[in-house]
Structures are given as structure tokens and as C-alpha cells.
Structure 1
């Protein structure tokens, strides 16, 4: 008997919370991120804004040109979003302990054993959605299938507020018409190779012999895509699986050469990574910059910090200094992002070692400062307090 894996994805999470907390904002295009006329990017946006082609990490100036005058622009309230995320995860824990949280707004659940207690899978999915709506007043899209790949694709199939069930015997029909780019591992190198083989859909990939895929993509990738095209993928959920790194990156719709846009995008990534790290009570020693140039030239650069951190400013400064240390100015950038890794040994309260504490003893704890700022914004509004680095260069 196959497993039943559920993927729960909150719809336009940040924007939905803002519209919930401010009823007058419902039904209007809403952008969470930088304000018009300021440097910055879109953190996320409502579905009303997405209809105009706006998406996360888009430069705010570009978003403003696409959006109508009645659009609302609000600053992120990370503490508020983290609070709601904890409430949602608590709801999911009432269904099963087999939960794997993969981001602030999505999780996998193994609900294989619930059918004898709650009924058919569709009933389980509806109950999960209803309890989330009852607890936090938000909608979630739910996908259910025999493994993680199918559950994830199913949750994306009918957004927002969707529920898609893909039984094992229907996996082939579900996957066949999808573009082959939905398969995990298809990137900038693999996609052109598949296209040269004359494939456009997952169904086309399925028709290719395994030997052909291995010949053109390599043994490992060819085998992996062959299995996925057949609907075979990991069917396990990993509760509390430790993360080795936290990263955020974005691919620009058009190549970027303006260093201000690149720095603002890294500023957004640093805020996202810092917030996720603080939620997970992680402090990283290693900051990594990832950058991709036109057409597919990709580089990573890393720096090891003396004191581990989850501070937005420290992450941004390290990543930007890595960028400036290379002869990259003026080159067309397709993708940029940053991450942290290298968690040090620490106790349950996140206490640094003695020597790290001595290094930082004359400076405010940046992680506590970030948490305090997020708490103030969560209570008094997005504009109640901001870091000074929002209004000046990090140079």
C-alpha cells in the first residue's frame, strides 16, 4: 500500500496576513516589500497584484510600472508572520506528528494512517484546510499524493485555496501534460539538453529510454529524471530534520547590471535568511554569495565569520563585500542570492562559546536586536521602527 503524503502551502502568506489584519485592504493589489520611490524589491504580493505579472524579488520600480495606482505597499512584519506560522504548524500537529516544515509557509505531512480515523483523503484535506482557516483566517492550498513530488505539484495545481488529490493510479495522467521543467533537478544546464532531445512535457521524458537519458544527462541525473517522469520519488517525511544551510536567491526576469538593484536584492535575501535562521535558532559561521551571469556562468564565494550570526546587516555586508571583491561590476546578472551555514555547537538557548562572547561583548547582540525590531513592528505596525541600513549604503 502506497503512502499518502500531503503538502500544505499557505496562499500568498505575507500578503494574506496583511489583508486579514486590515480588512479594508482585501481585494486590492498589495505588495509587501519596499515602497515606491525607494530602493528595494517585492518580498511577496497578493493574488490581485500577481495578475499584473508582479512576483517575489522583482525590483520595486519595475513592479510599480506594472501595478495600478490603487496598489498598497507595506513593509514586511516578520515577527507577525512567524507568529502566524507557528499557529499553523500547531494546527497541523493535531493531525499527525509526522510533519516536516520546509519554510515559514509550507510543510509536508505523512497522513497515511489517518484514512481509517478520518475517512477518505479528500475528507482529510478538507479538514486540514478548514482548521487552518478557523485558527488563523487564511486559506491554504493542499496537495495529496503517493510521494513528495506529486504532493508538491498537486498543491500548486489549483492555487489559491485548492485541494488536489492524485491517487497512485492517476499519477501518470497527472504528470504527462506538465512541462518537463517541473521535474526536480532540471536547471539551466539540463533543460537545453532535454529540449534538444525534442521533449516538451513530462510525458515526453517518460517515452525516452533510460539509456538515452543517461547518455545525454549523465548516469545520476538521467536515472533521477527517468524515475520522476514515471511518478517515482521520495515518499518519506522527515520531522525536525536538521538544516545544513539556509539560503534565498532570485532569478531576474531580465538580466541586471545596476549594482543598486543587486544590492537591494541581497538586502531582501539577507532579511529572509536572517529571519528564517532566527526562527530556527541558528547562527551561521559561513556566508555564501551565489551569482549567475548571462547565459549560464555560475559562481559561489564564501566567507567564514569570526562570530556566528543570524543578523541581517552582517549577512548583507559579508555578501556585498564578496561581490565587490570580484571584477563583476557591469556584468549582466541573471541570478543572485546568499546563504548561511556552519552552525556552531551551542546549547538549547543558543549560547555562543566563551571566546565568541568575548569578541562581541562590547557590541549589542545583533540577533536579539533583530528579534526586538521584528517584535516592535509586529505590535505597532510595519513603519514603527526600521534599521538605519535601510536608508544608507552598506559600503
Structure 2
């Protein structure tokens, strides 16, 4: 939270509002004000939702949801295939706006980034003013909106950016962090997905204040390594620096299921959904990996991984899905119950400079 000189950091988290859908509405005036779903089409076997416009979200449509379910929730929704080349081009322009103020930029994806403006290039000094100028520039130059969170560390800034969406700015100052974290519902904590939230509520943990009552040892006992992270973060402690040159080592997605999977058909269906998410992310960052890894967690929490490597990089959907299914088939037995599946790609080799900074494997229920 502090610099080497002991000063508090000034961190901004910028998150574009419904990025893909907003770009589609900007470029296609007939889509404005309508429920737009960007992702796989619901016809045939269907795909998954990459993002949805705010008009579509009113119907309960969310990212990573099967497109068929999205269509059931909103039959008049307009489904649009992603145009990743266009989104990347817009992302480059957004990054250029960021770079006017700082070189300490850590992109998390095409539409989201941390900025450390402790010592900004223009000598403005105020992180709130810089966030305001960035949002105004995005609006006037790109005809898009972004939300921003401003605080002294990455976790609080990222959480704050989600409070007044869309087109909002939220500042959480040092004196407000403790009460902010105590009042935060556990679902809003990074690392707390649907399954973890349900487990917390069974333990009577509903807010940050409830979480704060547990010792570090108790949190580690209940939640493993991430329990130590929860212990620090609920106290507003996050020393992670903004890392402008973080290299991608793996990229993927995983999902924890609300009920254990028992049939191979059900498992294959989930792998198809996860593979499509991985494929979309690879397209987003223009990456090809040589190694596909399948992650399996059983109902008894035993976890295994299996992988297969190729002579050259791959990124096509069919290879990802079929390889994952083949790896699963080799381990499958009818008496096993599976609670989590994940697919990731690694061994990228040459990575374009503009795409070498993105996050590692992420869980579908978190993003």
C-alpha cells in the first residue's frame, strides 16, 4: 500500500462498461437501447455469453451463461458474434489514453487495468482528477464509458470500480477502507465465487465484518491458502504492486459445479462450455499454446491434472475441446464424482508485446 519512500500509493482501477456489447452498440446504431448478447449463438449446440449489454442484464443474463439460457431469459435479445480484432484495436486506444498519465499500467484483460499514478507524468497529483480525465477522454474520443475505482491498493480500487457502474467513479480513502471492507458482502470479495460464498454463509459469514471475526488460522483451516489472503484483504492490506510487465504463463478457465457431475456426457457438456471460454480468451489475446492441461477436482477434494503437448501452438476450439475430453476419458470411472473441471493452455512461446501481461487461469464463477 506504500511506496519505497513510505508514501501511500495512488491506484486507479479502470473497468470498461459492458465493453464488447458497448462497442457493438456504438458501431451499430440500431443496437442502441436494446438487449445485446455478445458470445456464442444459441442455435445448434449453443455457446456461452462473453458479455451482455446493461439492457440484457436486466433480464438476468450474465457472462459465462449458456447462450440458450440467455435466450430463454430474454427471447428478444440480439445475439452478436464477438469481433475480437475490433475490441483489441479499441483496447490499444484506451491503453494510449492511460499512458498519457503513467507508464505503470497492468492490464487484466482488453477492458480492464490497474494504473499506479503515485507519480503521474503530468504532475496532476490527484488520482481522482486523473481518473476523471481518463473517463472523459474515453467518452469523448472513443464514445464509450468506463467506471473507475480509486484507492491506496489494488484490491480496494478494483472493488470500488464496481460500485457505481456504469459510468461511475468511486473513491475509497484510507480512513474509509476499514468500514468499507466490513460492510462489503462476501460475494463482492475477489476470490469468492458462488461455491465459496455458500460455504461462508453456512459458517454464518455474510459480510467483511463477519469475516474479520475469524483468525488467520481459522480462515486457513476453512479455505486453504486463500484464507490467508482473506485475512489480510478484509483489513484493507494489499501490498501487491502494479506490474506493467507481467508475463502470461498460462491462460484458461475453470468452473466449480453446484452439484457433482457423475456422467461422462454431463462432463463433456461442461468441457465444451469451458473450452469455448478458453478459446475466446486466446482469440482476445492472440495467443497459441503448445500444452493443454485438464484440471479435475473430485467430490472428496482430491485434485489431479493431466496434460498433452503439441509440436506447435494451437488455439482452435475443436482441438482444445477434444483434447480435454480425451484426457478426461483416460481418467474416468463410473464411481467418481467431479465437482470442478478446468482447461488451460501454456507454453506460448512468442507472445506479442501488447498481449504479454494478462492474468493466468481464472474461474468462471469469479469473472
Instruction: Write the deviation string for residues 195-237 of structure 1: whole angstroms up to 9, x where unpaired.
Output: 455322111222334454456556x544432211110013410
Instruction: Write the deviation string for residues 351-388 of structure 1: whole angstroms up to 9, x where unpaired.
Output: xxxxxxxxxxxxxxxxxxxxxxxxxxxxxxxxxxxxxx
Q: Using the TM superposition, give the Cα deviation of residue 147 of structure 1 relative to its aligned residue in structure 2, in angstroms.
A: 0.6
* Alpha-carbon distance between aligned partners in 1 of 2:103 and 2:221, rounded to the nearest angstrom: 42
Change (3 A) 1:75 1:112: same
Q: Using the TM superposition, give the Cα deviation of residue 18 of structure 1 relative to its aligned residue in structure 2, in angstroms.
A: 0.6
User: Which residue number in structure 2 is paired with residue 359 of structure 1?
Assistant: none
TM-score (norm 1): 0.76
Is this contact kept in 2: 1:78–1:275, CA < 8 A?
yes
* Alpha-carbon distance between aligned partners in 2 of 1:130 and 1:17, rounded to the nearest angstrom: 17
User: Which residue number in structure 2 is paired with residue 37 of structure 1?
Assistant: 43
Change (3 A) 1:310 1:36: closer
User: Which residue number in structure 1 is paired with residue 253 of structure 2?
Assistant: 248
Change (3 A) 1:254 1:46: farther
User: Which residue number in structure 2 is paired with residue 304 of structure 1?
Assistant: 309
User: Which SS does the other structure have where 1:44 is aligned?
Assistant: strand
User: Which residue number in structure 1 is paired with residue 357 of structure 2?
Assistant: none
* Alpha-carbon distance between aligned partners in 2 of 1:94 and 1:326, rounded to the nearest angstrom: 52
User: Which residue number in structure 2 is paired with residue 106 of structure 1?
Assistant: 112
Is this contact kept in 2: 1:121–1:165, CA < 8 A?
no
User: Which SS does the other structure have where 2:324 is aligned?
Assistant: helix
Aligned residues: 343
* Alpha-carbon distance between aligned partners in 1 of 2:129 and 2:188, rounded to the nearest angstrom: 27
Change (3 A) 1:319 1:213: closer
User: Which residue number in structure 2 is paired with residue 55 of structure 1?
Assistant: 62
Among 255, 270, 273, the residue aligned to 1:262: 270
Deviates more, 1:115-124 or 1:75-84: 115-124
Choose 1 or 2 for highest CA Rg: 1
Change (3 A) 1:342 1:116: closer
User: Which residue number in structure 2 is paired with residue 272 of structure 1?
Assistant: 280
Among 16, 20, 32, the residue aligned to 1:14: 20
User: Which SS does the other structure have where 1:117 is aligned?
Assistant: coil
Q: Using the TM superposition, give the Cα deviation of residue 190 of structure 1 relative to its aligned residue in structure 2, in angstroms.
A: 6.1
TM-score (norm 2): 0.82
Is this contact kept in 2: 1:3–1:147, CA < 8 A?
yes
Q: Using the TM superposition, give the Cα deviation of residue 316 of structure 1 relative to its aligned residue in structure 2, in angstroms.
A: 3.0
Q: Using the TM superposition, give the Cα deviation of residue 298 of structure 1 relative to its aligned residue in structure 2, in angstroms.
A: 5.3
Q: What stretches of structure 1 of length at least 5 have no aligned partner?
A: 350-395
* Alpha-carbon distance between aligned partners in 1 of 2:244 and 2:124, rounded to the nearest angstrom: 22
Q: Using the TM superposition, give the Cα deviation of residue 295 of structure 1 relative to its aligned residue in structure 2, in angstroms.
A: 8.7
Change (3 A) 1:322 1:215: closer
* Alpha-carbon distance between aligned partners in 1 of 2:294 and 2:337, rounded to the nearest angstrom: 16
Deviates more, 1:178-187 or 1:60-69: 178-187
Q: What stretches of structure 2 of length at least 5 have no aligned partner?
A: 1-6, 354-367
Instruction: Write the deviation string for residues 40-67 of structure 1: whole angstroms up to 9, x where unpaired.
Output: 2222211111111111121122111110
Change (3 A) 1:297 1:186: farther
Q: Using the TM superposition, give the Cα deviation of residue 338 of structure 1 relative to its aligned residue in structure 2, in angstroms.
A: 1.8
User: Which residue number in structure 2 is paired with residue 200 of structure 1?
Assistant: 206
Q: Does 1:317 align with 2:322?
A: yes
* Alpha-carbon distance between aligned partners in 1 of 2:199 and 2:321, rounded to the nearest angstrom: 35
Q: Using the TM superposition, give the Cα deviation of residue 179 of structure 1 relative to its aligned residue in structure 2, in angstroms.
A: 2.1
Is this contact kept in 2: 1:87–1:135, CA < 8 A?
no
Is this contact kept in 2: 1:101–1:240, CA < 8 A?
no
Alignment of 1:171-210 (within 5 A): 171-186=177-192, 194-195=200-201, 197-210=203-216
User: Which SS does the other structure have where 1:231 is aligned?
Assistant: coil
* Alpha-carbon distance between aligned partners in 1 of 2:205 and 2:188, rounded to the nearest angstrom: 13
User: Which residue number in structure 1 is paired with residue 361 of structure 2?
Assistant: none
Q: Using the TM superposition, give the Cα deviation of residue 116 of structure 1 relative to its aligned residue in structure 2, in angstroms.
A: 8.0
Change (3 A) 1:201 1:266: closer
Instruction: Write the deviation string for residues 269-313 of structure 1: whole angstroms up to 9, x where unpaired.
Output: 2422321442xxx44221112355669665533212222333444
